Structure formats: C-alpha cells, structure tokens
Amino acid sequence: MLLFEANSVGNFKTVNEQNRRRTVNEEMKALLHNRRTIPAQFLSEPGPDDRTIRSLLTIASRVPDHGKLVPWRFIVIRGEARKRFSASFCEMALKRDPSLAGEGLEKEKTRFTRAPVIIAVVSRAASHPKIPEWEQVLSAGACCMNLVMAAHAYGFVGNWLTEWMAYDDEALAMIGIDREEKVAGFIHIGTPSVPPSDRPRPDLDEIVSWID
C-alpha cells in the first residue's frame, strides 16, 4: 500500500507503508477485539443521559455517506414512552394470537422496557440518479454498528435488534416511521447485569480470499 506525504512546499511523495512508523491505538484495538453482545433483557439502569446520548449519536452519524445524502435518522425512545410502546405492541400481538401466554406474552410486554434507552436507526434510502439505494442502506447499517461501538466505548452495552416491530406497518406508524422508511435497527443501550459470553466465530480461512 502506498501513502502520500507533503513536503514543505506542498508537493507530495509516496511513502512505503512498511517504512512508515505506525501508532497503534491499543484502547481502540482492545474495544474492537473484546466487544460482545449482551441480550437486551440483561441491560439495566443506569442508561446514558441526554448529553451522552448526543455524543453517541454524533459518533453514530460519522459514517460513509456517498453523496452526503444523510439517508438515515434517529429516534430516541426512553422513560415512560418505552412502557407505552411495549403495552401497545403486546396488545397488537394478542390481537393476532389470542392464545399468546406465559413466556411469549411476557416477552411482548417487555419489548421496549428491557433496556433504559432504545434508539431506532431509521433508513431513509431512496432512489437517486447517482447514488445506488443499496449504498444508502449500507450507510444506515454503518450507523447501527457505530452506535453499538460508541455505547461500549462509553461504558454501556448496545444490543442491535429488529424483531417483528421493524417489519410491521402499524407498529412503525406508532413510533413515527413513514411507509417509505425502514428500521435498520433498534439499538438497546444500558448497563450489563451479567458478564459477556462469546460465541463461535467464523474461521477466517473459510471466508477470506487473498488476491496478490
């Protein structure tokens, strides 16, 4: 790989990366290596305050965005709103399946009360004469991952979920999401109440091709 350096008069020269001194951000490297998902039901208070949420969203929005379209937006759900939405989701679920009971019913009652804060990352991807819609969708996905990593960097945990509400027009309208929009993720953020556990990861030799 070639890098470019400017000299005192503004001209550029190529620099072989092998000969360039690198500075490794050990804290960032550790964060990326060690991040683990903790289920939303194990995320408790305290959650991030307003100032921290704004910082998390600032980080989340620093993603590749071809054409500077900003093809995404955020909805922050917290406090009593979580209970109202959960109750409505449960009512909707019961209408569709009156036999719902036990663990399944309890799950519906707590959809949005498991974590102190839920942030909906909403994709606004649309047809564009120059920017492929797929690239806009990927940008929203990048927002989700940035938000998850930001939550961990601030000492919280983020769990990226969608669940049935993300694909239900009635539920989306209730949250304030238009028919032309889609949910890239509901990011549940809180303080973990259990230690993280790992899961099997893919064997790199099975998913990586090298082309020299």
pLDDT at 2: 46
pLDDT at 22: 75
Is residue 1 predicted with pLDDT exceeding 50? no
In whole numbers, what is the pLDDT of the chain averaged over residues? 91
Domain boundaries, the chain: 37-195
Region 8-37: what's the mean pLDDT?
73
Region 179-192: what's the mean pLDDT?
97
Which pLDDT tens digit goes with each residue over 30-85? 999 889 999 999 999 999 999 999 999 999 999 999 999 999 999 999 999 999 99
Q: What band does 23 get if pLDDT is binned at 50, 70 and 90? A: confident
Name the token pair of 20: 């360039």
Spatial separation of the C-alpha atoms in residues 38 and 111, rounded to whole Å: 15
Which residues, at least 6 apart from 106, have a Cβ–Cβ distance to it below 8 Å?
Answer: none
Q: Please give the distance of CA 7 from its chain centroid, rounded to a whole number.
A: 40
Is residue 15 predicted with pLDDT exceeding 70? no
The DSSP string of 161-183 is E--GGGG-HHHHHHHT--TT-EE
| Percent of the chain whose pLDDT exceeds 90 | 82
Tell me which DSSP letter residue 209 carries: -
Region 177-197: what's the mean pLDDT?
96
Reduce the DSSP state of residue 195 to 3 states and report it. coil
Is residue 11 predicted with pLDDT exceeding 50? yes
Q: Which residues pair with 187 in a beta bridge?
A: 119, 160
Spatial separation of the C-alpha atoms in residues 118 and 40, rounded to whole Å: 10
- For residues 186, 74, 119 and 66, what is the CA-based torsion angle, rounded to 10 degrees? 60
Q: Which residue has the higher pLDDT, 136 or 23?
A: 136
Helices (H) and strands (E) in the chain, counts: 7, 7
Which residues, at least 6 apart from 101, have a Cβ–Cβ distance to it below 8 Å?
Answer: none
pLDDT at 199: 87
Region 119-129: what's the mean pLDDT?
97
Q: What band does 21 get if pLDDT is binned at 50, 70 and 90? A: low
Which pLDDT tens digit goes with each residue over 133-154? 999 999 999 999 999 999 999 9
Region 181-202: what's the mean pLDDT?
94
CATH classification number, 37-195, choose in 3.30.70.890, 3.40.109.10, 3.40.605.10, 3.10.20.310: 3.40.109.10
Crossing angle of helices 133-153 and 50-60, in 10° steps, is: 140
pTM for this structure? 0.87
Which residues, at least 6 apart from 24, have a Cβ–Cβ distance to it below 8 Å?
Answer: none
